[in-house]
Amino acid sequence: MRKSWVLPLLAVGMGMVADKGAQAAGQGPYVIPGVGPEQYSPQPQPAPQPRRANYGGGFLELLVTGRDPTGQRPQAAPAPEYRQEYRQEPMRAQRPAPVPMPAYSQAPPIQRAAYAPEMEPMSPVRRAIASEFQRQEVDYHGPHGAGTIVVDTPSRHLYLVQGNGRALRYGIGVGRPGFEWAGAKTITRKAEWPGWTPPPEMLLRRPELPKHMEGGPNNPLGARAMYLGSSLYRIHGTNEPHTIGQNVSSGCIRMMNDDVTDLYERVKVGTKVVVM
């Protein structure tokens, strides 16, 4: 009875050895006759897995390898939920607040030039001086000799006779209607940047005028004045040059400051003045 199970066992062992030899030689598995191949064919082995380094598991292995010690891939932590009151709103460009302008109680009044004593009323129209009223040398064939001042009221020109048929001609402002006059006078006094004291007759007509004004650029007598005899009339400059070439004065003869300064240097006290 012992021989009955030894022989089959020996045959199985020899078949396994032959099967391995056949596999080494590239042949199929050795099949024992009478025995099904599914019972003795070698079983497929799983593919070898790479050997992983051992860092001892725990937190250290998680830091180095990113692997969870339990063999599960770590999950990313969910983003924290912020409450509405802690969410930051995007920055908005803000315009700077306007700087308030300083408040002024009232703008200072405009200073108007004083009226000339012989100007009532003054024309409000400011215009450029026409070329005919610019200082220039012209022909002169009148009866008056050299050195005489001739005032041509209708044409609003003043002539300083030079002699030899020539004269210097200046543009002037003369008396308005009702204040014209004619006659011969002499220069009795000369003054630079004269002060002005309105005569009583002027103050009666113009009570708002100052009783006296010191000389200067704002003085209505201008840069120079030449007094005619003992009268209230003068040849003088003006702080309103736009009135040259017009009938606006109260009888005085007004000139532009540059012109009156030029005439002032050319004449002397005692010069004859003829007003026509």
Which domains does the chain carry? 131-275 (2.40.440.10)
Burial class (CB in 10 A: 0-12, 13-18, 19+), 210: exposed
* pLDDT score, position 210: 86
- 227-234 contacts at long range (C-beta below 8 A, 24 or more positions apart): 227/187, 227/188, 227/189, 227/190, 227/191, 228/185, 228/186, 228/187, 228/188, 228/273, 229/185, 229/186, 229/188, 230/188, 231/185, 232/199, 232/201, 233/181, 233/185
Backbone angles phi, psi at 274, to 5 degrees: -115, 120
Q: What is the mean pLDDT of the chain?
A: 75
Instruction: Identify the active-site residue in 141, 144, 157, 252.
Output: 252
Q: How far is CA 71 from the centre of its chain?
A: 73
pLDDT value at 94 more than 70: no
pLDDT value at 174 more than 60: yes
- Pairing type for strands 136-139 and 166-171 reads antiparallel
* pLDDT score, position 48: 62
- 145-149 contacts at long range (C-beta below 8 A, 24 or more positions apart): 147/267, 147/271, 147/272, 148/271, 148/272, 148/273, 148/274, 149/235, 149/263, 149/267, 149/271, 149/272, 149/273, 149/274
* pLDDT score, position 30: 47
* pLDDT score, position 109: 44
CA distance 230 to 246: 25
pLDDT over 70 percentage in the chain: 54
Average the pLDDT over 166-187 and give the result: 95
Type of residue numbered 173? G
User: pLDDT: is 160 or 130 the higher one?
Assistant: 160
* pLDDT score, position 205: 85
pLDDT value at 27 more than 90: no
236 is catalytic: yes
Q: Report pLDDT digits (tens) over 188-208.
A: 999 999 998 888 888 888 888
Q: Report pLDDT digits (tens) over 210-244.
A: 888 898 988 999 999 999 999 989 999 999 999 99
Nearest to 117, CA basis, from 12, 234, 263: 234
Compute, in degrees rounded to 10, the torsion defined by CA atoms 135, 139, 143, 147: 40
pLDDT value at 90 more than 90: no
252 is catalytic: yes
pLDDT value at 5 more than 80: no
Most confident of 74-88, 105-119, 192-206, 224-238: 224-238
Contacts with 131 (C-beta within 8 Å, 6 or more apart), sequence order: none
pLDDT value at 14 more than 70: no
Q: Prior bond to 102 cis, omega within 30? A: no
Type of residue numbered 234? R
The two tokens of residue 248 are: 């606006």
The two tokens of residue 187 are: 């220069």
Backbone angles phi, psi at 204, to 5 degrees: -65, -40
Q: Report pLDDT digits (tens) over 133-154.
A: 999 999 999 999 999 999 999 9
* pLDDT score, position 72: 56
Instruction: Identify the active-site residue in 141, 144, 157, 236.
Output: 236
